[in-house]
Amino acid sequence: MNKLYKTAVITGISSGIGLALTKKLLTENFNVIGTTRSGKLDDFSHSNLKVIPLEATNQESRENAIKEILAITKDIDLLVNNAGIAPDAFSNQPDFDSFTETINTNVTSVIFFTESLLKNIKTGGKIAFISSSMGLLKNAAPNGTAYRLSKNAINMYAAMLATRVIDEEITVTPIHPGWVQTKLGGNQAPFTTQDSADGIYNAILLNTASGKFWDITIPGLD
């Protein structure tokens, strides 16, 4: 990895938004440490990319991932929490098992992964959470109980975290990535993963009000 470049840590880079954002950051002269469940990335490699294994809901896996990250670098400019699931996104009836899995993956593991790296985020650094407008109260709907609640919780955590790291001048931003052509969004979605990655990158670069929700599809904070 190039010591002159900034360093980003991104979870969930095996496909979709995570992979597109990884490629975007690499073109913008970032060193990237990305996570996938297997610790591998098919059909893509880069000299400034390190891929490590992370099973987000497994505490031992999470601890090992943290150790691997800190063995590579002690100074992180950007942390992007991207990994997440949405098994109930189109269901009106919550299921106990998928509800529990969603909350553990999208909330609990995200919070404790972030907390484990918090002291290594550089002064003036940035923390981004790939959230969703489905987690906003004004967008309440009958479907996707666990997914909506998980994103609502992350939006609140981001707002709370922003108040804790204000003295370190760390910007915390929950970001709606748009309706994107992924497994969840489907082919009918208006945004490609590259469109979304560009929007997320621009949101990260902007001097956004820390803790405020950012929607890349509209010009301003929500």
Q: Which residues of 66-78 are buried (b: 16+ CB within 10 A; e: fewer)?
A: bebbeeebeebbb
Tens digit of each residue's pLDDT (9 = 90 or more) over 163-212: 999 999 999 999 999 878 776 766 777 788 899 999 999 999 886 789 99
DSSP designation for 82: -
User: The pTM is what?
Assistant: 0.94
Tens digit of each residue's pLDDT (9 = 90 or more) over 117-135: 999 999 999 999 999 999 9
Q: What are phi and psi of 21, to 5 degrees?
A: -70, -35
Share the mean pLDDT of the chain.
93
Question: Which domains are seen in the chain, by residue range?
Answer: 6-215 (3.40.50.720)
Report the C-alpha gap between 50 and 141 in whole angstroms. Answer: 39
Report the C-alpha gap between 88 and 192 in whole angstroms. Answer: 23
Q: What angle do CA 144, 157, 136 make, to 5 degrees?
A: 40
Q: What are phi and psi of 171, to 5 degrees?
A: -95, 130
